[in-house]
């Protein structure tokens, strides 16, 4: 049998630029990580190009990754599919919003696979607007902050991104003692933020609550592909009405294992009791979350 040849994938943009859209940046990074660009025209060339598009807040940037270290990081079993693709497509619209610090964020779901007989593999891309100096002026441009792969984080992720084997400083920004990315928000903080946003759907602008909810969807959650308008329309179903009409919210006092899936540090369950003013009893909303690139994201929810 003839050896399968790898189709060359051109990299349209080699540097971040103010005029590039979120999809332009995703396409550039994805092309750079394709195996046809790993070592052509020089060793680790594709990983060098991809690093240029990473925001200062990206875990690889925080860890001081060099092209070789970033290459090792991307060739881990739960991330290597992102470099072995031959088919790639965008799923749903780009979702944009401003975070609590006023920084612009963008989210985009994608699917990819190595050959037509393979299952499609999902990833969710997060980008942020970064101000960079261009001589006498400062310009804003989209840069990659994280890629949320289908598989949750593993404890070795950060170790692959170290600047060098001689770096003995275990306290560099964003990592705990064993090299795991430290989430800035707990599972309960994520759930509380989403529920409050859904309760005030159109504040401070139309569909803001839906933007926040979809922003925290994991790659396993197909709601990540929905536009805020479509997501909001699903909440008109009576089954979901409690999420947008509740008047009281509190923790489930009977749940001793809240924020814990029973053993895995990368999975969590958060149970919340909510009710409307006219209701006699509380309803239970149970949220399942997983850890991706140091961020807790929502896999699913169940209303009881």
Residues of the chain scoring pLDDT < 50: 1-4, 161-179, 256-257
| Residue 271 included in any domain | yes
Residue 177: its pLDDT value, please? 32
Tell whether 88 and 134 lie within a shared domain.
yes
Whole-prediction pTM: 0.77
Residue 78: inside a domain: yes
281: in domain: yes
Instruction: Reduce the secondary structure of 126-194 to three states and give it as a string.
Output: EEEEEEEEECCEEEEEEEEEEEEECCCCCCCCHHHHCCCCCCCCCCCCCECCCCCECCCCCHHHHHHHH
Are 214 and 146 members of one domain?
Answer: no
Domain CATH for 298? 3.10.450.100
Nearest Cα neighbor of 10 from 44, 35, 37, 50 is 37
Q: Is residue 125 located within the same domain as residue 222? A: no
Residue 69 is predicted with a pLDDT of: 86
To the nearest whole percent, how much of the chain has pLDDT over 90?
44
Final residue of a domain: which of 161, 195, 214? 161
Instruction: State the residue range of the domain holding 30.
Output: 22-161
Structural domain includes residue 176: no
Predicted pLDDT of residue 240? 87
pLDDT for res 260: 53
pLDDT confidence of residue 153:
67
């Amino acid at each position: 049998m003839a050896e399968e040849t790898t189709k060359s994938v051109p990299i349209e943009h080699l540097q971040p630029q103010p005029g590039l859209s979120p999809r332009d940046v995703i396409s550039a990074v994805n092309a750079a990580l394709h195996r046809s660009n790993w070592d052509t025209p020089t060793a680790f060339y594709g990983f060098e190009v991809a690093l240029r598009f990473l925001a200062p807040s990206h875990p690889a940037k925080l860890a001081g990754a060099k092209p070789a270290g970033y290459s090792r990081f991307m060739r881990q079993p739960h991330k290597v599919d992102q470099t072995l693709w031959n088919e790639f497509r965008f799923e749903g619209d780009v979702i944009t919003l401003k975070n609590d610090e006023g920084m612009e964020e963008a989210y985009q779901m994608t699917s990819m696979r190595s050959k037509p007989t393979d299952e499609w593999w999902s990833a969710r891309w997060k980008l942020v607007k970064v101000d960079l100096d261009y001589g006498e002026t400062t310009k804003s441009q989209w840069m990659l902050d994280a890629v949320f792969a289908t598989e949750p984080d593993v404890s070795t992720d950060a170790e692959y991104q170290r600047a060098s084997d001689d770096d003995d400083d275990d306290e560099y920004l964003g990592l705990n003692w064993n090299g795991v990315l430290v989430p800035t928000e707990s599972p309960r903080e994520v759930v509380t933020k989403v529920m409050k946003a859904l309760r005030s759907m159109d504040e401070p602008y139309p569909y803001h609550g839906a933007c926040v909810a979809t922003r925290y969807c994991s790659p396993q959650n197909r709601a990540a592909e929905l536009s805020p308008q479509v997501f909001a329309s699903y909440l008109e179903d009576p089954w979901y009405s409690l999420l947008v009409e509740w008047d009281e919210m509190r923790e489930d006092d009977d749940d001793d294992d809240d924020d814990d899936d029973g053993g895995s540090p990368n999975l969590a369950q958060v149970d919340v009791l909510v009710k409307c003013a006219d209701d006699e009893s509380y309803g239970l909303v149970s949220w399942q979350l997983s850890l991706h690139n140091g961020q807790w994201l929502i896999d699913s929810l169940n209303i009881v």
